[in-house]
Structure 1
Amino acid sequence: MAEHSILHTARTQVLEHGRGLDTEQLMEVLTLPDEAIADLLALAHEVRVKWCGEEVEVEGIISLKTGGCPEDCHFCSQSGMFESPVRSVWLDIPLLVEQAKQTAKTGATEFCIVAAVKGPDENLLSQVETAVRAIHAEVDINVAASLGILSREQVDRLTAIGIHRYNHNLETARSHFPQVVTTHTWEERRETLAMVKASGMEVCCGGILGMGESLRQRAEFATELAALEPDEVPMNFLDPRPGTPFANLPVMDNKDALRAIGAFRLALPRTTLRFAGGRELTLGDLGAEQGLMGGINAVIVGNYLTTLGRPQEQDLDMLERLSLPLKVLNRSV
């Protein structure tokens, strides 16, 4: 069977020359027939191996402050504005250090500290500084952070303590963002990302697919991320949470999810694409394997912030079964 024209174009433009597809081209990818998905994923895998290498990066995440967030992100059960089950909880520093040790034992090279806030106040930022120093003193692992919208001074402080990568998701296309969040703007998030990038920290920025966006908005989101040139893009799929405004949205179709994975790889040939929340519900075991052989080159192991993932051992076994080598820590001294 002849290769679809958009895949033929991508083979030259993306695989050979490393130039990501634009919005109109991504629309063609996102509307490919089901029988072309295997070819799409095979090409996406070729692209990621050529431009990113064969290794898969493993990361663990933990929440320093869970729940009680003042923002109204419609997908999130940590918002204090919704009737949802997650309430404010803080973790102490010794527990964070222990979690970092356990994460490192899995072979992970990245440990991300997350807080459910619009942005860090002085108390939170001081706790993060103490935690990061304690982790670096005892664990050989890169530490990332996700603390919301930052000021310039806060960016400088995180850089000074050696934060390797900062996560701040744009969540969805700019045109769809007002339907997802109303208490802050897409532009505010984008400004934080610009400061992070200028600081020298790596930029981790992705979002959640399946939040009622159109296919065009999905394509727009991929190209908006590509314009940011992030080091990493976490790919989440909506896991509708009870008590949130998105509680009754349908789970994303698994074939649409696979098309999206292929499309994002063809939009972002040099970027780390990380499997994150919702993949178990949306894709199951077989779909996860297809994604890892179709453009994904990083995974979060263990649980997410408010939803359960798979046991770490299962993901590590899957990577071994697929003969995908783990990325090793290679920090410059």
Structure 2
Amino acid sequence: MTPSSSYLIPADRLLQIAQDKVLGRGEGLNFHETLSALSLDEVHLDDLLELAHKVRLKWCGDAVEVEGIISLQTGGCPEDCHFCAQSGLFESPVRAVTLDIAYLVEAAKQTAKTGATEFCIVAAVKGPDENLMQQIEAAVEAIRAEVDIHVAASVGILTQQQTDRLKAAGIHRYNHNLETARSYFPEVVTTHTWEERIATLQQVAAAGMEVCCGGIVGMGESLAQRAEFAMDLQELNPTEVPLNFFDPRPGTPFADIEPMEAKQALQTIAAFRLALPRTILRFAGGRELTMGDFGAERGMLGGINAIIVGNYLTTLGRPAERDIDMLGKLQLPIKALNASM
């Protein structure tokens, strides 16, 4: 769906609104304004990115939060997320694998050596069973005993008791992505609801853990739905928004969707920064395919202030050293652990 040109705010007017409202007062763009930012002509992209970078510097500072992620339990998931190669319902090449705690501790050590302050344990499940809960509790205890790093988790939909246990175990930030706009969610997942995800996020926030919630752009949603997604996140007010760019996986229902163009990805970064001026906006999966090295640098200077280094769950990322070198080239400091405690 292409927004009507009569509905969109002219570029000069939009940039002035963002200058006054977002840069000046730290207030995020509304739906109409965010949709207009997503719809700007390419000639205005550099101006949009420059303003988004100024917003990021003013309201978040110049430091970049670095994170590594690892999958404790990969593949065999009973859910039907149409983008995901870990679903056991699709003929994907990913096979179920479970890691031991010693491997997780070593991975956390290697992650910390990059300067990362965050290490996220992920499992491909609808929600954790008792065995997985005990594994996570033991893993967090072992990691914290040997590695100076924050431990986050992403293990699906939680009960209240599970939420409380993860908090008690030392999980300081919990990731549970909404994935997409509420109106588009039924096109992406049918085995659970958007409302179930929101309920878990509300529990996490109430328990005192930081909320990490983002999703994937470029899965066939309209620009209006992309703006709607930004508003969903704005209302949720998470500490962190991981921004993934769709990377088609063989064997999944979305395998034939083409990746978005680099220009559109950069425009999305800037628009989300202007909608979420005070939020950690993290480069996540798909950036290598969508933007390459040059696009990644432009994204870091267009609103991004956090990054996942190394590989993702089922796709390869860039070597951590390349991303650290990129931050040095751009003169963006890595956020120190003692500053994030």
Whether these two folds match at TM > 0.5 is yes
| Residue number in structure 2 paired with 1:236 | 244
Structural mapping, 1:62-73, within 5 Å: 62-73=70-81
Poorly superposed stretches of 4+, deviation over 2 Å: none
- After superposition, what is the alpha-carbon deviation per residue over 1:38-87, rounded to whole angstroms, capped at 9, x for unaligned? 00000000001100011000000000000000000000000000000111
2:184 to 176, 186, 193: 176
Aligned-partner residue type, residue 225 of structure 2: Q
Give distance in 2, aligned partners of 1:45 and 1:90. Answer: 40
The alignment partner of 1:41 has SS state of helix
Aligned-partner residue type, residue 303 of structure 1: N
Is 1:99 aligned to 2:107, yes or no?
yes
Give distance in 1, aligned partners of 2:46 and 2:205. Answer: 35
Give distance in 2, aligned partners of 1:313 and 1:110. Answer: 16
CA shift for structure 1 position 27: 1.1
| Residue number in structure 1 paired with 2:141 | 133
Is 1:11 aligned to 2:19, yes or no?
yes
Is 1:307 aligned to 2:329, yes or no?
no
| Residue number in structure 2 paired with 1:316 | 324
2:96 to 71, 81, 88: 88
| Residue number in structure 1 paired with 2:289 | 281
Is 1:74 aligned to 2:87, yes or no?
no
Answer with 136-145 or 249-258: which moved more.
Answer: 249-258
1:223 to 221, 231, 241: 231
CA shift for structure 1 position 4: 1.7
| Residue number in structure 1 paired with 2:209 | 201
CA shift for structure 1 position 3: 6.6
Is 1:162 aligned to 2:144, yes or no?
no
The alignment partner of 2:338 has SS state of coil
Give distance in 1, aligned partners of 2:180 and 2:133. Answer: 27
Give distance in 2, aligned partners of 1:31 and 1:177. Answer: 22
Number of corresponding residues: 332
- After superposition, what is the alpha-carbon deviation per residue over 1:168-225, rounded to whole angstroms, capped at 9, x for unaligned? 0000000000000000000000000000011110000000000000000000000110
Aligned-partner residue type, residue 15 of structure 1: L
CA shift for structure 1 position 253: 1.2
The alignment partner of 2:233 has SS state of helix
CA shift for structure 1 position 322: 0.3
Normalising by structure 1, report the TM-score: 0.98
Q: RMSD of the TM alignment (CA)?
A: 1.1
Is 1:186 aligned to 2:194, yes or no?
yes
Task: Give unpaired runs (5+ residues) of structure 1.
Answer: none
Aligned-partner residue type, residue 264 of structure 2: D
Give distance in 2, aligned partners of 1:24 and 1:139. Answer: 45
Contact 2:11 2:40 in 1 (8 A): no
| Residue number in structure 2 paired with 1:28 | 36
Give distance in 1, aligned partners of 2:340 and 2:330. Answer: 30
Task: Give unpaired runs (5+ residues) of structure 2.
Answer: 1-9
Contact 2:64 2:305 in 1 (8 A): yes
Give distance in 2, aligned partners of 1:160 and 1:22. Answer: 37
- After superposition, what is the alpha-carbon deviation per residue over 1:112-137, rounded to whole angstroms, capped at 9, x for unaligned? 00000000000000000000000000
